[in-house]
Structure 1
Amino acid sequence: MFKIAILQKRAINAQIDKNIESIIMAMKEAAENHADILLLPECFVTGYDLPMSYEKSIADDDIRIAIICENAKKYKIGVVLTAFTKGNKQPQNSAFVINKSGDILMKYSKVHTCDFADERNVESGKEFKVCDFEGIQLGIMIC
């Protein structure tokens, strides 16, 4: 059996450290309930705050992503970590799949971004990906 936990909570815009605290608490609770993986709301690390500037988005090697990886290993739980990340020239709406050992299995950036409203300033990803999570094939898509 594959058990999925879902965090249903609103992120605090531009309060990355507080959002990271919420994620770690949710990871601990999900692990205590024997979940295999925790799914987060869209752009939970940074908050879904459009328009998002490139400067406020986070890099793939941001230390706070590493902190989540460390806690995944500590609690032995996977997580789909979501944030606005730095694309080539603009932010991307991204999701990282992190396994129970704290390894990033893949990063997906939203492919079908809208060409209108505030999302027109979000850089599209280029491909859909699949990874192996503990023998389960996982794909990510952001609506």
Structure 2
Amino acid sequence: MSSCFQKLKLALVQLAVTKNKELNVERACKFIKEAAQKGANLVCLPECFNTPYGISFFNQYSESIPGFSSDTLSNCAKENNIYLVGGTIPESDGGKIYNTCVVYGPNGDLLAKHRKVHLFDIDIPGSITFKESTALSAGNTLTTFSIGNWKVGLGICYDIRFPLMANIYTEKGCQLLLYPGAFNMTTGPAHWELLQRARAVDNQLYVAGISPARDETASYVAWGHSSLVNP
């Protein structure tokens, strides 16, 4: 693949997530391969693609980077000759757990690693209470990577709520922002599409949100509705 191509064909993989990590990773690779066969050169997975989303799962499913999930993604990017944004996995490092997105190039090299900056602590009376900060630590950096002439900025879920983060990415020359996210059945209808469209219009760039598939039997039900918004 030429590193100077002008066009991106972007695939957003919205997949169901089970409690079986190995199965989740295996299925993700299956969909990545399918997307590549259909011509995608940039494939994006959702937040927590290898684990159920929830405070009780982050420690149990956490792993180091490099590790099982990230190594598998690296190999998958290389085998399919694509750029791969690996959604997020719970990353264990230095006694802390981060919600982390890794990006690999067509040769399997790690291009970027973004740790979720804004943790999702929310209390809506009568609807939902959720505090990521009880299990996760926050990242403290902004993260970009390049594909030919495209510069891409990374955020994770609640990061999209903060317009200054997107503004800074725009000032750094990004034309595309990617947000793997797992908005829920309360915040999803209210903000998922609205925030993507706001970030896109405010900054005159493309914005994509990549969600796990909805599973109404799960303890945390994702809204779904992965989408790509133009400027």
Match of 2:59, SS state, is coil
Contact 2:15 2:28 in 1 (8 A): no
Single out whichever of 51-60 and 19-28 deviates more from structure 2.
51-60
| Residue 80 of structure 2 corresponds to residue 75 of structure 1 | yes
Q: Distance in 2 between matches of 1:118 and 1:6?
A: 27
Kindly tell me: are residues 67 and 34 of structure 1, through their superposed partners in 2, closer, same or farther at Cα, counting changes over 3 Å? Answer: same
TM-score by length of 1: 0.89
TM-score by length of 2: 0.57
Match in the other structure for 1:35: 40
Once the two structures are TM-superposed, the CA of residue 51 in structure 1 deviates from its matched residue by 2.9
| Residue 15 of structure 2 corresponds to residue 9 of structure 1 | yes
Match in the other structure for 1:127: 141
Moved segments of 4+, more than 2 Å: 49-56, 87-90, 114-118
Match of 2:70, SS state, is helix
Mapping of 1:1-143 within 5 angstroms? 1-13=7-19, 15-81=20-86, 82-115=88-121, 117-120=130-133, 121-143=135-157
Q: Distance in 1 between matches of 2:146 and 2:99?
A: 22
Kindly tell me: are residues 8 and 115 of structure 1, through their superposed partners in 2, closer, same or farther at Cα, counting changes over 3 Å? Answer: closer
Single out whichever of 29-38 and 50-59 deviates more from structure 2.
50-59
Single out whichever of 129-138 and 67-76 deviates more from structure 2.
129-138
Count of residue pairs the alignment pairs up = 142
Match in the other structure for 2:213: none
Q: Structure 1 counterpart of 2:49, which letter?
A: F
Once the two structures are TM-superposed, the CA of residue 56 in structure 1 deviates from its matched residue by 2.5
% identical equivalent positions = 27
Once the two structures are TM-superposed, the CA of residue 55 in structure 1 deviates from its matched residue by 4.6
Q: Distance in 2 between matches of 1:71 and 1:45?
A: 15
Contact 1:72 1:79 in 2 (8 A): yes
In structure 2, runs of 5+ residues without a counterpart are 1-6, 123-129, 158-231
Single out whichever of 26-35 and 49-58 deviates more from structure 2.
49-58
Q: CA RMSD in A?
A: 1.7
Q: Distance in 1 between matches of 2:68 and 2:41?
A: 24
Contact 2:74 2:109 in 1 (8 A): yes
* Higher alpha-carbon Rg: 2
Once the two structures are TM-superposed, the CA of residue 10 in structure 1 deviates from its matched residue by 2.3
Match in the other structure for 2:196: none
Q: Distance in 2 between matches of 1:58 and 1:7?
A: 22
